[in-house]
């Protein structure tokens, strides 16, 4: 074999289709990287600016790193208002809402996926259509119900309405339908009842989907502003979004503590960022598997 033939065998020029795919892939990844950088830059600026003085934050032209590092901004957050109490309230409400949503959504989803009853599909479609109803339409009726129950300024009043997650029911139902029925049939033959199959077989297999729904519910509860504003008239029951809104007014118009406001904002989103960093692979896997069927 000649050297020219060996070279042509080892180093084949890409075809036009392959070259086109490579160009498109390069453009796609470049856009993803650019979007990621554009998303991260405001967050990085917020973290760095939380260590700046007010004059340093308002300096024009803008610069990234503090001329003088001021970690006292984080201490001011707890001096201006009961920030620790708001933090605790958000944690309690978030945990209660997430646990309740996982229980309710998984039970409802399992019933729609595996139990045959009259009107099952019609009922499921009716439940899905409620996603199209604007949330503010049900705000006043929900408030009246909570008031009649005596749940104003309580954790249950803040948490219970968020436990019914329609999207969570949909995602879990789709995931449960991907589980082979033969596994449940074998469990029935071994003498297991429906509840035992749900608790011991289905839920362990649905861990990625459960983590996805749990993370979505926790983020929704953690970022909720309007519902806590309606339910919590007492400062002792207010959550972080309400505290940040109050702090924004104090910092911007009364005390001019922009650095403290940025520090409080960073502290408020830090738990969600950490949780998502550790659970993102399960989150993506749960979303992917929930759409298979």
For the entire predicted model, the pTM comes to: 0.81
Residues 273 and 185 in one domain: yes
- Residue 115 falls inside a structural domain: yes
Question: What string of DSSP letters covers 164-177?
Answer: --HHHHHHHHHHHH
Tell me the pLDDT tens digit for each residue of 220-240. Answer: 999 998 999 999 888 889 999
Residues 30 and 169 in one domain: no
Looking from the CA of 33 toward its CB, the CA atoms found within 13 Å total: 6
Residues 205 and 280 in one domain: yes
- Residue 59 falls inside a structural domain: no
Residues 121 and 205 in one domain: yes
Residues 241 and 199 in one domain: yes
Token pair 């060996």 in the structure block, residue = 6
Domain enclosing residue 13, as ranges: 3-49
Q: How far is CA 191 from the centre of its chain?
A: 39
Token pair 């449960």 in the structure block, residue = 176
Residues 23 and 158 in one domain: no
Q: What is the pLDDT of residue 95?
A: 95
- Residue 63 falls inside a structural domain: no
Residues 14 and 147 in one domain: no
pLDDT of 59 strictly over 80 = no
Separation of alpha carbons 108 and 130, rounded Å? 15
**Which of 44-48, 96-100, 177-181, 252-256 shows the highest mean pLDDT?**
96-100
Question: What string of DSSP letters covers the chain?
Answer: --HHHHHHHHSPPPPHHHHHHHHHHHHHHHHHHHHHHHHHHHHHHHHHHTTS-HHHHT-SS--SS-SS--THHHHHHHHHS-HHHHHHHHHHHHHHHHHHHHHHHHHHHHHHHH---TTHHHHHHHHHHGGGS-GGGTHHHHHHHHHHTT-TTSHHHHHGGGG--HHHHHHHHHHHHTS-HHHHHHHHHTT--HHHHIIIIIHHHTHHHHHHHHHHHHHHHHH--HHHHHH--SGGG--HHHHHHHHHHIIIIIS--HHHHHHHHHHHHHHHHHHHHHHHHHHHHHHHHHT--
Tell me the pLDDT tens digit for each residue of 75-124. Answer: 888 888 888 899 999 999 999 999 999 999 999 999 998 888 888 889 99
- Residue 260 falls inside a structural domain: yes
Tell me the pLDDT tens digit for each residue of 172-195. Answer: 998 888 888 888 888 888 888 888
Residues 214 and 171 in one domain: yes
Q: How many domains does the chain have?
A: 2
Q: How far is CA 4 from the centre of its chain?
A: 59
Separation of alpha carbons 227 and 213, rounded Å? 20
């Amino acid at each position: 074999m000649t050297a020219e033939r060996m070279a042509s065998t080892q180093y084949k020029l890409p075809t036009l289709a392959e070259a086109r795919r490579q160009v498109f892939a390069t453009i796609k990844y470049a856009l993803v990287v650019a979007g990621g950088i554009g998303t991260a830059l405001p967050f990085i600026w917020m973290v760095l600016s939380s260590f700046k003085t007010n004059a340093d934050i308002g300096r024009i032209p803008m610069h990234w790193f503090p001329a003088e590092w001021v970690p006292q901004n984080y201490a001011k957050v707890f001096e201006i208002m009961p920030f620790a109490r708001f933090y605790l309230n958000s944690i309690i409400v978030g945990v209660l809402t997430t646990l309740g949503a996982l229980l309710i959504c998984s039970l409802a989803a399992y019933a729609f996926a595996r139990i045959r009853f009259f009107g099952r599909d019609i009922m499921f479609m009716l439940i899905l259509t409620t996603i199209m109803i604007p949330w503010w339409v049900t705000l006043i009726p929900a408030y009246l119900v909570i008031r009649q129950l005596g749940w104003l300024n309580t954790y249950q009043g803040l948490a219970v309405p968020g436990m019914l997650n329609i999207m969570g029911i949909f995602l879990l139902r789709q995931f449960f339908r991907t589980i082979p029925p033969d596994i449940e049939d074998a469990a029935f033959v071994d003498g297991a009842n429906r509840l035992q199959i749900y608790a011991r077989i289905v839920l362990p297999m649905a861990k990625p989907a459960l983590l996805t729904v749990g993370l979505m519910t926790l983020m929704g509860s953690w970022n909720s502003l309007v519902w806590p504003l309606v339910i919590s008239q007492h400062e002792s029951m207010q959550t972080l979004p309400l505290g940040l809104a109050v702090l924004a007014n104090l910092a911007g118009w009364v005390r001019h503590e922009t650095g403290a406001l940025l520090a409080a904002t960073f502290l408020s989103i830090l738990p969600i960022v950490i949780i998502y960093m550790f659970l993102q692979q399960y989150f993506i896997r749960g979303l992917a598997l929930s759409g298979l069927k």
